[in-house]
Amino acid sequence: MPTSTLKYLGNLRTELTHLQSGQVVITDAPTDNNGKGEAFSPTDLMSTSLCACMITIMGVAAQTHGFSIDGATAEITKIMSANPRKVSEIQIEIIFPKNNYSDKERKIIEHIANTCPVALSLHPDLKQNVKLLF
């Protein structure tokens, strides 16, 4: 069974539907590529998905090991290259709540930042710069 569907709406916009939940996401081409920039671009989603994957797996590990990352926030910066046009670098800064994380908990979190499924699925030439702020 498919995971999702996509409908092209015209004007460089798509509608993505997650079939299990029915959640809908709209994408728009960015302003630097003939779009309106009124929604996430596909490359914005890819970059943001990397961080969402990291934090989700960190949350799983935190539950498993009896600590919390609830309230963590992040900022994601996507850097494009021109020729060929592609995402060349993703910069992620994750800010964790003040929980006095142990050395073991920090090591778990740091390991996940480099080994989440999305991180491992992206091309090795794509720079993934992750900064963890405890």
pLDDT tens digits, 17-52? 999 999 999 999 999 999 999 999 999 999 999 999
17 lies in the same domain as 65? no
DSSP string, 29-51: --GGGTS---SB-HHHHHHHHHH
Q: Shortest CA distance to 42 belongs to which of 61, 56, 52, 29?
A: 29
Q: Give residue 81's pLDDT band: very low, low, confident or very high (50, 70, 90).
A: very high
Q: Give residue 2's pLDDT band: very low, low, confident or very high (50, 70, 90).
A: very high
Q: Which domain holds residue 53?
A: 42-133
26 lies in the same domain as 59? no
Q: Give residue 80's pLDDT band: very low, low, confident or very high (50, 70, 90).
A: very high
Query: Using an 8 Å Cβ cutoff, are 94 and 71 in contact?
Result: no
Strands 4-10, 24-28: parallel, antiparallel or unpaired by DSSP?
A: unpaired
76 lies in the same domain as 27? no
What pLDDT is attached to residue 119? 96
25 lies in the same domain as 47? no
- Over residues 114-127, the mean pLDDT reads 96
82 lies in the same domain as 52? yes
10 lies in the same domain as 60? no
76 lies in the same domain as 114? yes
Query: What percent of the chain has pLDDT above 90?
Result: 99
67 lies in the same domain as 121? yes
48 lies in the same domain as 29? no
Total tally of structural domains belonging to the chain: 2
29 lies in the same domain as 48? no
**How far lies 130's CA from each of 4, 78, 99, in Å?**
29, 12, 20
24 lies in the same domain as 70? no
